[in-house]
Structure 1
Amino acid sequence: MLASLAVLVATTGYVAADVMDVAPGILTLDRPVAIPTPTVSGTPAPVLLPVPAATVDPMLTDEGATAPLPTAKGLADAVGGASDDPALDGGVGISVRDAITGDELYALDADQPRVPASTAKLLAALAVADTLDLREAMTTRVVATPGSSDLVLVAGGDTLLAPGKGTPDAVAGRAGLADLASQVAAALKPTGTTEVTLRLDLSWAPGPRYPPAWNPDDVRDGFTQAVVMTGLATQLPAAGRPSPIRPETEVAKAFVAALKAKGVSATLAPDKTWGDPASEDAVELGSVRSATYGEVLDLALDRSENALTENLVRQAAATAGLRTTRGGDNAAFIVERLTAHGIPTEGLVLKDASGLSPGQAASAATLSGVLQLVATDNPDQVPGLRDVIAGLPVSGVSGTMRGRFSSDATQDVVGVPRAKTGTLKAGSSLAGTTVTADGRPLTFVVLVDEFPKDFGGTLRARAALDRIVAALTRCGCR
């Protein structure tokens, strides 16, 4: 596995961005870790900052809010002892905040822009949570003009459609094309219609198929796919297994097959017509709803899905009535939302919403500003963002954090830190939440970009990030 990943790092355009955080086998901790489901005053609450099951005070309770604050000197000593790799000298940016008040407790070169890699998705998450109602879902509909056998499948943004029946408790595959076909066939039955034409309406949130700064090799190698407003959950990209070049065509073909299974023969209209909106007087024949925006955003962060993140930000921008058709529109929208919340953007360079493009930069201060918005005492909290941060992958347990914190130097804190990972040859990062040994909840951002730009250097950077966050977690630091 290590050898194959070394080749991957050396040959791909994406240079293993996050792939080593999700590939089975590498640095993976197989033993199960119990994560408690706490309550506050008897009411279930989001697990923002979990701790190992053997301990108490599992999240932001009153007791956690009164736990001692670590001192700046204590944090500096802890970080200094954990980041002693000489290859990282001068290349570390850190911001640590109290998760109760949002106050910054410790910073190291926090204003220096560095490569954010996929932690840039946290900036995207703010823009999405600030604009879309995360409790709402995307709807895929089929409509027809009264008296016509011309059907239009109206894409509503869901790229996680099941080609068959939907699964109600799933995120990927909740809405099923077979269920949609059943509704359409039932609606057509009274008229005796068994032959139809079908086209897609892709007019919602239009934009470039790929952000201009993306490396085409990343698409070829399965690290991302086209950013469109419909797609199949069964065709999500994976390292070494690329998605179809045109996900929308695959949806159309799958729906034709689903209709055929219900006794309706459909002929596809030319795809050059698919950008046209459905007629305003069209009547709905059926519809299926996706998982909620919040659930889909959680999935995008958990798996570090690049195109899915771009899709959600584009939908948010369109919902806000902003332009989505140019290559830099997603990035501009994110910066606008950051600025609106007073988050520092000095030195910020965004070319996409996912962190995939080369040449991007963000400081620890910028990322920390987003996490500060979920502080308990912050009156400017963004609705839904707290739940998004609560759903970040858990160290050693889930998502892109499953294979992290597995060394002898860090596995004692497994199950405590939650974070969004970022792993590129040019820079590595972790940003999320943890709880100190005294029970005080913290948010943290750690960026590293001065290390050997090879496979070994990438592993050293990851190990340094884990050691630093582990030191924060086990810190009494009073």
Structure 2
Amino acid sequence: MARPRTTPARLVLLVLALLLAVTGYLGVGAGRQFLADRAFTPIRVPAPTAAPPGVASLLSSASGPPAAAAARPDAPAPTPAGVAAALADELTDPELGPSVAGQVFDAGTGTLLFDQRSAEQVAPASTAKLLTAAAVLAVRQPTDRFSTRVVAGDQPGVVVLVGGGDPTLSAAGPGKPTRYAEAARITDLAARVRASLAGARVDQVLVDDSAFTGPATAPGWGTEDTPSAYASLITATMVDAGRDAPDDEIRSAEPDLAAGNALAAALGGAAVSRGSAPAGAKVLGQIRSAPVSVLVEQMMRASDNVIAEVLARQVAIATSRPASFEGAAAAVSATLASAGIKIGDGMVDGSGLSVLDRIPAAALSATLLAAVNGKQSRLRPLLSGLSIAGWDGTLLDEHRFSGPAAIAAGSVRAKTGTLTGVSGMAGLLTDADGRLLVFSFVADQAPAAFDSSSRGAVDNLVAALVRCGCR
């Protein structure tokens, strides 16, 4: 019997059905970040075995302003006219849309070489993580760690897991690699609890999440954003940056209970629910997070929204504000203002995921200049967390810095940012003469921000600076 042929109409219906299925799975929020910031598909990059050409000095140097490539302090200085000429053609690329805000500075002298709409409020997308990184490094030492405790409950057999805002606490089993480097382990915490209890049975684990307050999602986050591969509810107690298990790509709908379940499993099994630690309860065990410097680098390189939101709340706690989205945003703004970096009151979260976030693009340049300045050496993890073009993090994507822009590979360190209608990048680069420049660009009316052509247009802007001496 002959097999029925598929008619063109049926083909059209089949394609439409597949498109609807994919849209339903990814959601609008996934569309907002998707692969542009490697947020929808989390990065798992092997540790480099050797530095790419031109960045060895940055990766190994312990002092002095880090460069994207081997910058020379005696290199000829670019001029505003030269920079403007280098950028002129690329700024007209229709893939950027009609509105581009940005700045370029000579990192060595602080001279402003280019400015366009930099004082206007724009959506920063994930470049906002630069601001969160600078704020947390301003109020915390790079060596600081955050504690997670287990205390005795008010009844025999009850213990309370008290979260302290460690985003990378891991549920990985003994001997298994953690998803995030240097992460504390629930199994180690459980071992200390067992030792304290001297064999007494644990029947119930309560999870105390009171270190954070307010809503668990920010204004401007869509319902599809949590849970997703790039975001979870923000709680003070979580494992593996808001996942149910270390290898999960989609994050947890109940990250606090996921942490409680991990502890209960490590203790041999127990019921898990939410609760509060009794006042003055005996501490049965305590572990500490990776250092702040490591958390900042992980947040930056993988553009991890959950780590960013937890670190923003740590800024709020350090400055005696409520550890909520509102309190964290106010804390980051006030902390940066005290350092001369004005972002205003337009941020509503710490990651840039919200479609409501607004800052002046000049704040991104000012943050990077402060980090490059030798007097702000505690901000160094912000720079070492920047991705290297063509080498790691969010600039490793095969479509980034390709074609004519490939000349910039290894010469640019930057943080990307992408939302619907927004494509941006801010960081450091070394020009053709060996001069270190600081740049920030945000195209806030990009017609197709998630297309490789739109991201490529931003890459081309940056590559134009790498290519020229701009004199």
Does TM, normalized by the shorter one, top 0.5?
Answer: yes
What is the one-letter code of the residue matched to 1:399?
Answer: G
Choose which of 130, 136, 148 in structure 2 pairs with 1:128.
136
Query: Would you say 1:186 and 2:195 are equivalent positions?
Result: yes
1:350–1:185 distance in 2 versus 1, CA, 3 Å: same
Structure 2 SS opposite 1:13? helix
1:178 to partner: Cα distance = 1.5
Cα distance change of structure 1 residues 91 and 7 upon mapping to structure 2, 3 Å threshold: farther
Quote the residue 1:372 is aligned against.
Answer: 369
Superimposed CA distance per residue, residues 34-88 of structure 1 (whole angstroms, 9 cap, x where no aligned partner): 2543289x9644883232xxxxxx25xxxx2222211111111111133331454
- State the TM-score, normalized to the length of structure 2: 0.84
Tell me whether 1:329 sits opposite 2:327 in the alignment: yes
Mark the CA change 1:129 to 1:168 in structure 2 (over 3 Å): closer, same or farther. Answer: farther
- Taking a change above 3 Å as real, the CA distance of residues 234 and 365 of structure 1, as seen in their structure-2 partners, is closer
Taking the aligned partners of 1:232 and 1:95, their CA distance within structure 2 comes to 39
Q: CA, structure 1 residues 8+471, in 2 after alignment: closer, same or farther (shift >3 Å)?
A: farther
Identity %: 32
Check if 1:50 corresponds to 2:58. no
One-letter amino acid of the structure 2 residue matched with residue 199 of structure 1: L
The verdict on how the C-alpha distance between 1:150 and 1:451 changes in structure 2, with shifts beyond 3 A counting, is closer
Deviations 1:100-133 (A, max 9, x none): 2333222122223222111111122222111122
CA distance in 2, matches of 1:149, 1:7: 47
Q: Contact between 2:162 and 2:209, CA under 8 Å: does it hold in 1?
A: yes
Contact 1:21 1:402 in 2 (8 A): no
Which AA in structure 2 matches 1:335?
Answer: S
- CA distance in structure 1 between the aligned counterparts of 2:138 and 2:211, rounded to whole angstroms: 20
Aligned residue among 132, 151, 154 for 2:159: 151
> Partner residue of 1:466?
459
1:99 aligns with 2:107: yes
Determine helix, strand or coil for the equivalent of 1:203: coil
Root-mean-square deviation (Å): 3.5
Whether the 8 Å contact between 1:115 and 1:428 is mirrored in structure 2 is no
Change (3 A) 1:420 1:12: same
* Aligned match of 1:231: 238
Structure 2 unpaired stretches of 5+: 1-17
Letter of the 1:216 counterpart: T
Paired AA for residue 358 in structure 1: V
Deviation at 1:461, TM superposition (A): 2.5
**Structure 1 letter corresponding to 2:340:** G
Distance 2:104 2:80 in 1: 9
TM-score, length basis structure 1: 0.83
In structure 2, relative to structure 1, the CA distance for the partners of 1:367 and 1:210 (3 Å cut) is same
Contact 2:202 2:267 in 1 (8 A): no
Deviations 1:319-361 (A, max 9, x none): 2111234x42222222222322222446x62121111111332
- Pick one of 262, 271, 276 that aligns with 1:254: 262
Pairwise CA distance, 1:299: 0.9
Supply the AA of the counterpart residue of 2:349.
Answer: D
**Post-superposition offset of 1:465:** 0.7
| CA shift in 2, pair 1:224/1:89, >3 Å | closer
Task: Find the aligned partners of 1:149 and 1:243 in 2 and give their Cα distance.
Answer: 30
Q: Which residue of 1 aligns with 2:433?
A: 438
Is the Cα–Cα contact under 8 Å of residues 187 and 285 in structure 1 kept in the other structure? Answer: yes
Structure 1 SS opposite 2:195: helix
Which position in structure 1 is the counterpart of 2:13?
none
Amino acid at match of 2:284: L
Aligned 8 A contact 2:189 2:287 in 1: yes
* Alignment match, 2:126: 118
Letter in 2 for 1:279: A
Paired letter, 2:240: A
Q: Which residue of 2 aligns with 1:55?
A: none
Aligned residue-pair number:
445
